[in-house]
Each structure stands twice: as C-alpha cells, then as structure tokens.
Structure 1
Amino acid sequence: MDGTEPLDESDPKFSAWFELDALILRWIYSALSDDLLARVLDTDITARAAWIKIQDIFVNNKRARLVTLETKLTNTALNSCYSFDNYCQTLTEIAEQLRDVDQPVNESRLVIQMVRRLPIEYDTIAIIINQNKPTWEVARNMIEDEQT
C-alpha cells in the first residue's frame, strides 16, 4: 500500500507479489459493505488501486458527512434517546465521527451541546453547569445526580 508500482510479470518475484496482492485485495473486499463493494469491485485491479478508490470515495463524501454529523450533533436531544446513558453515548459517538472527518469536537463544546438539548426540567442544573464549565464526566455526573 506504499504506492510502489506492481511488478512486471517477467520478474521472478511477480508470483509472490501477485499472491500477496490478491490476499490483501480479498481482505479489503471482505471488509466493505455491499454498497461500497459494488463501487470498488473490479476484476483487474491491485490492492493499491482498490485502496485509492475507497479513499477517493470517502474524501469526496467528507464534506457531506461533516454537514450531516454537525446537524445530528446539534439536533440530538435527551428526549430522542431512550436513556441519559444512551444520550451521552450518542453525543460522544457523533463527536468521534466528526473527529474522523477532521472536525474534532472539544470537551467544552460537547458539554454545552449536552446541556443545551436537555428538557426544561433540567434548567437549574443546566445553569449551574454552564456557569461552572465542568468537564464532560463531571457534567454528566451532575445531571445523573439531578435525575436521582
């Protein structure tokens, strides 16, 4: 996957290279979803070329994915989740996905987002959290304490 050109068929090492390339290509294909596999599958392709195709698909998708994830982060509310733990897990997963598209969410923003989408009955604890600017874990514990 280092960009080295494939060996010529007349090269004595070609057979070993071809076998390894085919093995890596099978691994790549086995890791793809059916939709993505259909876009990448080719009968005359090296593992490197398949990898570049996949990379191009994701890079071209990056901006759209970013917009979708930002919208999801902004609109995720406690009421849309089945528990507070699920709400926190959903927010952290979206933040991790945003990091994967080169748009990291810092802890402070994550806390603000968590508090911002709490129901009205959490207004008092939300004010305290906003004033004290605690870490994610401390803010989470404060809300859990409020629930009990």
Structure 2
Amino acid sequence: MVCDDLKDLVMENSTSAFAAWTALQHFFLDNRAAQAMFLDKEFGNTVRGEPATCPSPNTTTASNRSLTQSLADVDEPVKDPTLTMYVIDSLGKKFEVQAEIIQSLGKFPTFAQARSRLMLAEASMAKKARNESAQALFV
C-alpha cells in the first residue's frame, strides 16, 4: 500500500500502472548513491574499541551487520573479511585476548565464525564472574 502523499506525487503525471511503478522506482532508487555514501561514512566512523559505547561483541556485530545490510540494499555490499576486521577492531580491552587469538589464526575467520567465538568468550566471562561473585558471598 502506498501512502496518499506518495500516491498523489507518483500519479500526478502517470497515465498507466507501468508509469506509476516506474515513478515509484525512481522515487526510491534515485538517491541510492547519496545513501550509499552516507551509510559508508557511518560504517567507517563506527566507534571502535570503547567499552562504554561497544559493551559487548553481540551489540557490536549486530550494529555492523545492520549497516552492512543497508549498504547491500543500495548495491554497495561490504565483503565478509572487511566486516570481520571492523568487528575485531571494535572490541575493547575486555576482549583484547580474543581479538589477538582471532587475528593469529592461520585462516582469517568469516564474520559468523568470529562472532561465534566472541559470543562464546563473552558467555564464558559472564559465567566466571557469576562464580567469583558466588564464591565471594561464602567467604
């Protein structure tokens, strides 16, 4: 369903369904280059390495994945190794060891592999913290 304002704009000079469809297509796709530039700049300027702004690998990977999907939607896809490098670069000191391990692997991991490893490390850290706090209660 097309909103009334957009319908009025598209139907203004359209005499057929094809003309209306073409006008709609142009309306949404004509700004693709500008949108790609904006998204690419946003992706490149994503704050990296600050624990306050990147609290967990899951938050970081979801944010980066959303931006890369938006870039793909405007025909400017981000390659998987590039996304993996950005995610690794976005990790704060808390995940410094995991970042070094991922970088030292013989074959650079895919985004999905890196994300999986980071989520496992995060879960392990949370479990360790719970165990330490439970032990502190018994002391």
State the match for 1:74 in structure 2.
Answer: 44
Q: Which has the higher contact order (CA 8 A, sep 6+)?
A: 2
Indicate conservation of the 8 Å contact 1:95/1:104, yes or no.
yes
Matched, 1:143 2:121: no
User: Which residue of the partner structure matches residue 93 of structure 2?
Assistant: 120
Structure 1 residue aligned with 2:134:
none
CA-based RMSD: 2.7
Equivalences for 1:54-73 in 2 at 5 Å?
Answer: 54-73=24-43
The percent of aligned pairs where both chains have the same amino acid is 27
Change over 3 Å in CA distance of 1:126–1:53 after alignment to 2: same
Unaligned runs of 5+ residues in structure 2 are 126-139
Q: For 1:83 and 1:70, locate their aligned partners in 2 and report how far apart those are by CA, in whole Å.
A: 23
- For structure 1, which runs of at least 5 residues remain unmatched after alignment? 1-29
Pairwise CA distance, 1:41? 4.4
The verdict on how the C-alpha distance between 1:95 and 1:131 changes in structure 2, with shifts beyond 3 A counting, is same
Letter in 2 for 1:109: T
Q: How many residues align?
A: 118
Counterparts of 2:46 and 2:82 in 1: how far apart (Å)?
A: 14
Write the distance in 2 (CA, Å) between the matches of 1:109 and 1:119.
18
Q: Name 2:60's counterpart in structure 1.
A: 87
Q: Provide the TM-score with structure 1 as the length reference.
A: 0.63
Residue 91 of structure 2 aligns to a residue whose secondary structure is: coil
1:129 matches 2:102? yes
| CA–CA distance in structure 1, aligned partners of residues 54 and 27 of structure 2 | 31
Q: Which secondary structure does the structure 1 equivalent of 2:31 belong to?
A: helix
Q: How far apart are 1:39 and its partner, in Å?
A: 3.9
Q: CA deviation at 1:120?
A: 2.9
In 2, Cα distance between the equivalents of 1:127 and 1:35? 53
Q: Is the 8 A contact 2:64 2:83 kept in 1?
A: yes
